[in-house]
Amino acid sequence: MDQLTSFCIEIGEKPFRAKQLLRWIHQFGKADFAEMSDLAKGLREKLAVAAVIESPKATRDHTAADGTRKWLLSVGTGNGIETVFIPEANRGTLCVSSQVGCALACSFCATGKQGFNRNLTVSEIIGQLWWANKVLKAETVSAPVLNDASSAQQHGAEQQIADRSRAVSNVVMMGMGEPLANFENVVTALDLMLNDNAYGLSRRRVTVSTSGLIPAIDRLRERCPVALAVSLHAPNDALRDQLVPINKKYPIQELLAACRRYLVAAPRDFVTFEYVMLDGINDSAAHAYELVKLVRDTPCKFNLIPFNSFPGSGYQRASPGSLRIFRDVLMQAGLIVTIRKTRGDDIAAACGQLAGQVLDKTQRTMHGMTEAAR
């Protein structure tokens, strides 16, 4: 918002024009200044010369059997990012990417296997939400209507169309990349998501997921506290070092302390710990009992994630029996536990499967990435 206000002043306009532009671009999804009817004709002509609004370009568009939608959006030089829309009965959640690839190299994640190219810009991050809202709203307008009782038999198919067309109500920064390694651009995009003149989302409906960059977690608490999810995946440092290499720099006990500090300003009174269930690796009852002891002083809930396979992963999904026993151990200890429903795995849109197109890798080191998050 500050940057847009400065731009308006630079072209000789009053600061309030920034709010008008914000509404036209983000609330109404307009990319043509000529359509911004409450702006003076002279201003619209000036804007057409001084600025351009570019939307992302979708090079692939897939819809899963369950209605999950995945777009591959071009970000230039042969690179592409994946954005996923997950329709549910009472919400529409958009999973947004923050980087082209990822340098943190978590061993069970397809994105980490792709290497790292670069951080996304603010426009590329917020552009994913802009694109999804525009496409989904357009489809909602064109969705068929049930006109008679006989059409009720088609209700399931029609409902799937309606759900798939739902506008975005929730955003999770859980796509490609580590959001907190691209701190300034991600937070600026978050500001737009929360701004009442743009998308007007509540802090409770926007979630940032991190592998555990502690300095950036502290900065996020001060700068823009939204809901926080932490990719935990192990109950001890030895195992987490293997699964989530950033743990070697920011070990578990230090990470949990950062989570407790974060809760002072968070919109929710708990941190969500994401835990991907890997057969024979981290899914035993002993691991669950270890987790119970680990988090006893940290208000939290667990989101258990059945592993979603991808080529070359080297892992298998934990069995239903192991998942059930693991969940029961946590719940019997009084912890809140959910099991994430696998969505979109038939189009490789499920958690951990996003790969996109990552070319011209810079091979930036993990140390460099964590320094950028400070």
Residue 49: CB atoms within 10 Å = 9
Q: Please give the Cα distance from 68 to 93 (Å, whole number).
A: 10
8 a catalytic residue: no
102 a catalytic residue: no
The two structure tokens encoding residue 250: 């920011």
User: Backbone phi, then psi, for 309, in 5-degree steps?
Assistant: -70, 155
Residue 107: CB atoms within 10 Å = 16
Q: Which long-range contacts (CB under 8 A, 24 or more apart) does 358-361 make?
A: 358/79, 358/100, 358/101, 358/114, 358/115, 358/116, 358/117, 359/77, 359/78, 359/79, 359/117, 360/77, 360/78, 360/79, 360/117, 361/101, 361/115, 361/116, 361/117
User: Backbone phi, then psi, for 222, in 5-degree steps?
Assistant: -80, -35
- Sign, CA torsion 126/127/130/136: negative
Write down the catalytic residue from 8, 13, 82, 224: 82
Note whether 185 and 127 are within 8 A (CB).
Answer: no
Q: Which residue has the tokens 């009174």?
A: 269
DSSP 148: S
Pairing of strands 300-306, 170-173: unpaired
Cα-based distances in Å from 8 to 20, 170, 371: 11, 30, 34
Pairing of strands 227-231, 206-210: parallel
Of 110, 78, 107, nearest to 97 by C-alpha is 110
Compute and round to an integer the Cα radius of gyration of the chain: 22
Active site residue ranges: 82, 351
